[in-house]
Amino acid sequence: MGDGFDNTNKGVLFKNTEKETDKHPDYRGQLDVNGEKFWLSAWINTSKAGNKYMSLAIKLKNSDSAQPKKSRADDLNDQIPF
């Protein structure tokens, strides 16, 4: 089953080609920790001493906050009696 490649405890980052503001990550990707899947985001920063570093954030892939936002129209249903 699958390609036989084990991604457990591995991750990947790609340059964010859709970055529109400084708040958007410079890189984004995925991370697996003991079989649990996460979204991974990274920002390139410069310290006060002038050294470059990456700031990282992870978010559980299956969390509610990782799901696409529902539009208000999704909350309405077509069964309104008139």
Look at residue 74 in the predicted model and tell me its pLDDT: 46
* Rounded distance between C-alpha atoms, residue 27 and residue 19, angstroms: 9
Look at residue 40 in the predicted model and tell me its pLDDT: 96
Which of the four pLDDT bands, split at 50, 70 and 90, describes residue 1? very low
> Of 21, 25, 20, 19, nearest to 44 (Cα)?
25
22-80 pLDDT, tens digit per residue, is: 999 999 999 999 999 999 999 999 999 999 999 999 999 987 655 544 444 444 545 55
Residue 2 has pLDDT above 80, yes or no: no
